[in-house]
C-alpha cells in the first residue's frame, strides 16, 4: 500500500515503501496594550489521516466525545457527545486511536541524533512546521501530528543533508557503524531506525539499494556511497517517522512497540540498543510488571525530567509568561517574565524528581525565584541569573499562590479574578463551564466598591451559574493578591477584602474557604483535582484525547494520586501498567 500522492515522499523513498505505508484554545487573556497579553486563541483545522502501514491501515474512526463526569465518583453522566452539566469533569474529545502517530519535531531531532550518533543536535528541525496550537491540550496529540507535502519536503531535505554529512568520509561513517560490511550495516542501522529488526524482505530491498550506490559519482568509498542511499531512504521511511500500534483493537502492543512507546514518552527519544535487546526476547515488555520495572528505571534518568518539563509547561501554558506586559506599574520589569517561567519550571521539576504529587503542587509553601522576583517575595536575592528556593510563608500555599501565576493573571496592578477562576476550572478541575457568555469590559475602579463587588455586579446576569457558582468563587479566593502577586490586606482606599467562597465538585461535595490557602486545601482533598491532573497526564502520555471510556483508567490513577505519598512518578507507573497504555485502543 502506497502513501496517497499528496503525501508522497521522494521517488527514492517510495521505491522502498511497498507494503508500508478547549481548553478554549490557549485562552484569550486580553488584547495587547491593555495589561497582560498572551498567545491568541488556537485555530482549528483537521489533520491528515495517515494511510497504509499495511493491512488494516493507520487511521480509524474515533468515538464520540462523552460528557463530563457528574454525580459521585467519576461515573460519566449524560449521552455521548454532549457537553455535560457545568461543573462536571469534562471528558469530551475526539480520539482517533491512530495505529501510527508521527514523531513530534523534538522526537525526530532526538531520534536522528541518536541513530546517527551525532555529537550535537542537527538543528534541522528548527525549520520544520509546528503543530497548530489550541486545537488540542498538548502539542503531541495525534490530531495535530498530520503529515502533508510540506512535511515530506522537510523530511526529504533533512534526510539528504544528514546522509551526506555522515557519509562524507569513512571516518564520519564509522561513527554510525564501525564495520564495513554492507549486510551488517543494513541490519544494525535498520534495527536502530525502525526500532525493530528488519524483515527479510526489507533487508533484501535495502541491500539492493545499497548495491546501486556503486553507480554514484565522486571520490567516496563504495561503502560510503551505498550507505548514503540507505540512510537517506531509511530516514524517510514511515517506520522511522511514525510510532506504530499495528495490532487490532484490544490486542497488546508487541515488545518493540512497547519499547518505542515507553522510550519516546519518558526519554523523548527512541529506544537505544540496550532497550531493543530487552524487547527482543527477554519478555520484559510482555507483562504489566515488566513494563513498570523498565519505566521505573527510565523515570530516574535525566531525560525524564526534560519530558515532564514539557508536559507541565504545556499543561499550564508557561509559554504565556513571555507575553506579560504591565501599564502604569513601576515595579514591573520585562526581565521578570523569564524568571517567572524558569521559577515555574523549577517548581514542577522538584515535584517530579523528588517523588511528590498533586497534593504538593497545591499545598507546598516552597517556591523558586530569581533576583528580580526576590524583592516581591521579601527574600534575599540570589546572584543575577541564578535561582534560589525558600519557604514563602503560610499565605502562599501551592503553585497558584506564587508570583508567576498571579502576575500572569493580573491586569496591570489589579487582579484579573475572572481569568484566575477560569484557569483553575479548566486546568486544575477539568470542569465543564458550559457555553461561553459575552461579558462587557469591567468598569473602572469606583470609590466604595471592591474589585469583587464590581465584578459580581458585572457577571450577575450572564453565564447562567458558571460565574456565580464556578468561575467567581475560585477567582475571588485570590483577591488578597494584586496584579503583581503582592498580598494586600485592604483595597481601594481601605476597603475590606472578601476572599471567601464555596464550590460544588463533581462528586457532589461542597467545600468552603475563607482565603486562597483554604481553597488550595479544598482542591487537594477533592478527587476532581487529582482526576483532572490524571486526565492531563494520560492525554499527554497516550497522545490522544481522554474520554468517558477511559474512566476505569482515571479511577485507578485518581486513587494512586490521592493515596499517601501519591506521586507523579507513581501515576506514570500505574498508567504504564494499565491496558490503556499497553494495548491498542482503536477500532478493529
Residue 67 covered by a domain: no
Q: Which helix (H) or strand (E) holds 512?
A: strand 510-513
Tell me what pLDDT residue 407 has: 98
Same domain, 38 and 109: yes
505 and 394 in one domain? no
Q: Is 397 inside a domain boundary?
A: yes
- Largest separation between any pair of C-alpha atoms in the chain: 87
In a domain, 281, yes or no: no
Identify whether the C-beta of residue 238 lies closer than 8 Å to the C-beta of residue 574. Answer: no
Q: Is residue 417 part of a domain?
A: yes
402 and 322 housed in the same domain: yes
Contact 520, 394 (CB under 8 A): no
| 344 and 201 in a common domain | no
| Per-residue pLDDT at 8 | 31
Q: What is the pLDDT of residue 444?
A: 78
User: In the prediction, which pLDDT does 578 show?
Assistant: 97
347 shares its domain with 398: yes
Residue that is written with C-alpha cell 482565603 in the block: 515
DSSP SS3 for 101: strand
In this prediction, residue 162 carries a pLDDT of 98
Domain limit, last residue, from 251, 266, 282:
251
Note whether residue 392 is domain-resident: yes
Strand partners, 491: 495
pTM: 0.86
Q: Is 34 within the bounds of a domain?
A: yes
Q: Indicate if 436 and 351 belong to the same structural domain.
A: no
- The whole-number pLDDT of residue 436 equals 65
DSSP 303-369: HHHHHHHHHHHHHTTGGGGGG---SS-TT--TTHHHHHHHHHHHHHHHHHHTT--HHHHHH--EEEE
The total number of structural domains in the chain stands at 4
* Residue 423 sits in the same domain as residue 501: yes
Range of the domain at 312: 303-406
Per the domain annotation, does 205 fall within a domain?
yes
Q: What is the pLDDT of residue 86?
A: 63
Query: Do 562 and 573 belong together in one domain?
Result: yes
Q: Give the separation between CA 310 and CA 79, rounded to whole angstroms.
A: 34
Q: Are residues 100 and 12 in the same domain?
A: yes
- Separation between Cα atoms, residue 369 and residue 396, nearest integer Å: 13
Report angle CA 365, 370, 371 to the nearest 5 degrees: 120
Q: How far apart are CA 359 and CA 561, in angstroms?
A: 8
Domain contains 422:
yes
Q: Let me know whether 539 and 512 are in one domain.
A: no
Q: Which of 225, 251, 277 delimits the end of a domain? A: 251
Task: Write down which residue in 375, 406, 437 finishes a domain.
Answer: 406
Write out pLDDT tens, residues 12-41. Answer: 232 322 222 222 222 233 333 333 433 333
User: Which residues, given as ranges, of the chain have pLDDT below 70?
Assistant: 1-86, 435-441, 461-464, 587-588
Same domain, 101 and 132: yes
238 plus 150 within the same structural domain: yes
Amino acid at each position: 500500500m502506497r502513501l496517497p500522492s499528496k503525501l508522497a515522499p521522494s521517488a527514492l523513498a517510495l521505491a522502498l515503501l511497498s507494503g508500508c505505508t478547549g481548553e478554549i484554545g490557549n485562552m484569550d487573556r486580553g488584547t495587547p496594550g491593555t495589561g497582560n497579553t498572551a498567545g491568541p486563541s488556537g485555530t482549528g483545522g483537521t489533520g491528515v489521516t495517515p494511510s497504509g502501514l499495511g493491512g488494516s491501515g493507520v487511521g480509524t474512526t474515533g468515538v464520540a466525545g462523552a460528557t463530563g463526569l457528574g454525580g459521585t465518583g467519576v461515573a460519566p453522566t449524560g449521552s455521548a457527545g454532549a457537553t455535560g452539566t457545568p461543573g462536571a469533569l469534562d471528558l469530551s474529545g475526539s480520539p482517533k486511536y491512530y495505529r501510527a502517530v508521527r514523531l513530534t519535531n523534538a522526537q525526530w531531532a532526538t531520534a536522528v541524533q541518536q541513530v546517527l550518533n551525532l555529537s550535537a543536535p542537527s538543528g534541522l528541525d528548527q525549520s520544520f512546521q509546528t503543530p497548530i496550537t489550541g486545537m488540542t491540550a498538548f502539542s503531541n496529540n495525534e490530531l495535530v501530528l498530520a503529515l502533508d507535502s510540506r512535511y515530506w519536503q522537510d523530511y526529504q531535505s533533512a534526510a539528504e543533508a544528514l546522509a551526506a554529512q555522515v557519509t562524507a568520509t569513512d571516518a564520519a561513517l564509522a561513527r554510525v557503524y564501525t564495520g564495513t560490511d554492507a549486510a551488517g550495516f543494513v541490519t544494525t542501522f535498520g534495527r536502530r531506525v525502525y526500532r525493530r529488526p528488519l524483515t527479510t524482505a526489507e533487508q533484501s530491498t535495502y541491500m539492493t539499494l545499497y548495491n546501486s550506490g556503486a553507480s554514484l559519482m565522486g571520490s567516496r568509498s563504495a561503502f560510503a556511497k551505498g550507505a548514503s542511499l540507505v540512510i537517506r531512504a531509511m530516514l524517510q521511511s514511515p517506520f522511522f517517522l511514525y510510532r506504530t500500534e499495528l495490532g487490532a483493537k484490544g490486542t497488546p502492543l508487541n515488545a518493540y512497540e512497547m519499547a518505542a512507546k515507553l522510550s519516546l514518552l519518558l526519554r523523548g527519544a527512541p529506544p537505544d540498543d540496550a532497550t531493543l535487546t530487552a524487547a527482543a526476547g527477554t519478555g520484559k515488555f510482555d507483562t504489566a510488571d515488566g513494563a513498570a520495572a523498565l519505566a521505573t528505571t527510565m523515570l530516574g534518568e535525566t531525560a525524564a525530567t526534560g519530558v515532564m518539563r514539557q508536559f507541565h509547561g504545556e499543561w499550564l501554558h508557561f509559554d504565556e509568561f513571555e507575553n506579560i506586559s504591565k501599564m502604569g506599574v513601576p515595579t514591573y520589569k520585562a526581565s521578570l517574565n523569564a524568571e517567572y517561567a524558569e521559577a515555574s519550571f523549577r517548581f514542577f521539576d522538584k515535584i517530579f524528581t523528588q517523588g511528590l504529587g498533586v497534593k504538593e503542587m497545591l499545598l507546598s509553601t516552597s517556591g523558586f525565584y530569581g533576583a528580580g522576583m526576590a524583592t516581591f517575595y521579601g527574600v534575599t536575592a540570589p546572584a543575577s541569573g541564578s535561582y534560589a528556593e525558600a519557604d514563602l510563608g503560610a499565605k502562599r500555599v501551592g503553585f497558584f499562590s506564587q508570583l508567576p501565576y498571579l502576575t500572569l493573571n493580573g491586569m496591570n496592578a489589579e487582579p484579573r479574578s475572572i481569568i484566575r477562576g477560569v484557569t483553575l476550572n479548566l486546568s486544575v478541575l477539568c470542569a465543564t463551564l458550559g457555553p461561553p457568555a459575552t461579558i462587557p469590559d469591567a468598569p473602572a475602579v469606583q470609590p466604595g466598591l471592591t474589585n469583587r463587588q464590581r465584578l459580581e455586579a458585572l457577571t450577575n446576569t450572564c453565564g447562567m451559574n458558571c460565574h456565580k457558582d464556578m468561575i467567581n468563587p475560585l477567582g475571588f479566593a485570590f483577591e488578597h493578591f494584586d496584579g503583581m502577586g503582592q498580598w494586600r490586606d485592604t483595597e481601594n482606599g481601605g476597603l475590606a477584602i472578601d476572599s471567601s467562597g464555596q464550590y460544588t465538585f463533581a462528586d457532589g461535595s461542597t467545600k468552603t474557604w475563607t482565603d486562597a490557602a483554604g481553597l488550595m486545601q479544598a482542591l487537594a482533598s477533592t478527587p476532581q483535582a487529582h482526576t483532572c491532573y490524571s486526565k492531563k497526564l494520560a492525554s499527554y502520555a497516550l497522545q490522544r484525547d481522554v474520554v468517558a471510556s477511559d474512566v476505569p483508567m482515571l479511577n485507578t490513577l485518581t486513587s494512586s494520586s490521592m493515596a499517601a505519598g501519591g506521586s507523579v512518578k507513581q501515576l506514570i507507573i500505574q498508567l504504564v501498567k494499565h491496558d490503556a497504555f499497553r494495548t491498542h485502543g482503536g477500532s478493529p
